[in-house]
A = this chain, B = another copy of it.
Amino acid sequence: MGSTPKYDPNFTQHVIDTCGPNTSPRMKTIFGAMMRHLHDFAREVDLTPEEWLAGVKFLNETGKIWAESDGKRNEMHRLSDITGLESLVTEIANYVQTEDPNYTPTSAAILGPFWSPNATWRELGDSVIQDPHEGVVTYMHGVIRDLSTHKPIPGVTFDFWQASSNGKYDFQDPDNQSDNNLRGKFKTDENGEYRLYCLRPTAYSLPTDGPSFQLLNALDRHPMRPAHIHLMITKDNYKPVITQIYPKDDPWLSTDTVFAVKDDLVVDFNPVGKIPDSMKEHTGPGGKATKELELNIVLAPLGVAGHSDPEPKS
């Protein structure tokens, strides 16, 4: 049959063409691209009725967990993490073309499901460690600078969250952790600096009792996230940076199960050096800091040339 297509060559365009004149342009763009890729996928793999029905059942079971947990457990979100979709959407949203390839905004990484809109404000130099743990107390500090001027930015909100040494966040672990343990919001000082005490982070596994773990098993993949600290760094008139940082010696960096590691987000935890006089001594659980992490951040001002310019949504 030579180049004659095996299946009806007009089918996909017919489905797209049923959209009426009152579809929004953005919806039409999304639906059109989705239909082309969905149908091409099915034709490329000769998807069988049994496989398609297994997919329908899998998505239903995934939504069921969300429904039965009153929205607390979002395995559908997790599916988009283990397939790289959230990481990709994060890359797309944060695309900036810079003039100087050696001085770029700090990379973004996925928000994940554990950010809290209610994290407490803390003073510069405070500790986020409230409760007992088996981790390593770390002095973390750095300067936040402007991409265009390279100057420090005072008054930046530095929102920090991390799991405890058992791999759990405060609201997953109410028996061992108080509200806002290992969370806090800080403001940079007049020199654009932040400083705090936290834990060297601990690697942990995604939940192993749901559909996303079933998929990982079918793909012969592990459920591990490398150790990481979450950050959300915001300031009026700057593009926000939502990101994660990772210790350089973590064994899961190259196979992070949610694909959120980027080169400039991998950092060194060094033996602690001199702690500045402006810091109080850490007196909370775990005692004195034995590690130090310096992390400097670059924020892009809004409207800087080269910003990604998505097509208008409507």
Q: A7-B92, A23-B219, A39-B84 are in contact. Are A33 and B62 (CB under 8 A)?
A: no
User: A85 vs B36: C-alpha distance in the bound complex, in angstroms?
Assistant: 11
User: A56 vs B59: C-alpha distance in the bound complex, in angstroms?
Assistant: 11
Number of copies: 2
From the candidates B21, B35, B67, B310, name the one contacting A60 in the complex (CB within 8 A).
B67
The proximity string for A residues 1-34 relative to B, scoring 1 for CB distances below 8 Å and 0 otherwise, is 1000011100110110011111110010111011
The proximity string for A residues 86-127 relative to B, scoring 1 for CB distances below 8 Å and 0 otherwise, is 111111110101000000000000000000000000000000
What secondary structure prevails in chain A residues at the interface with B?
A: helix
Interface segment, A75-83, A191-199, A291-299? A75-83
A82 nearest CB across to chain B (Å): 9
The proximity string for A residues 174-212 relative to B, scoring 1 for CB distances below 8 Å and 0 otherwise, is 000000000000000000000000000000000000000
Known contacts A20-B219, A39-B85, A64-B64, then 14 further A-B pairs from the complex at CB < 8 Å, ordered by chain A residue: A7-B91, A11-B91, A18-B221, A20-B221, A23-B218, A29-B45, A33-B41, A38-B83, A42-B88, A47-B88, A48-B310, A52-B86, A56-B80, A60-B76
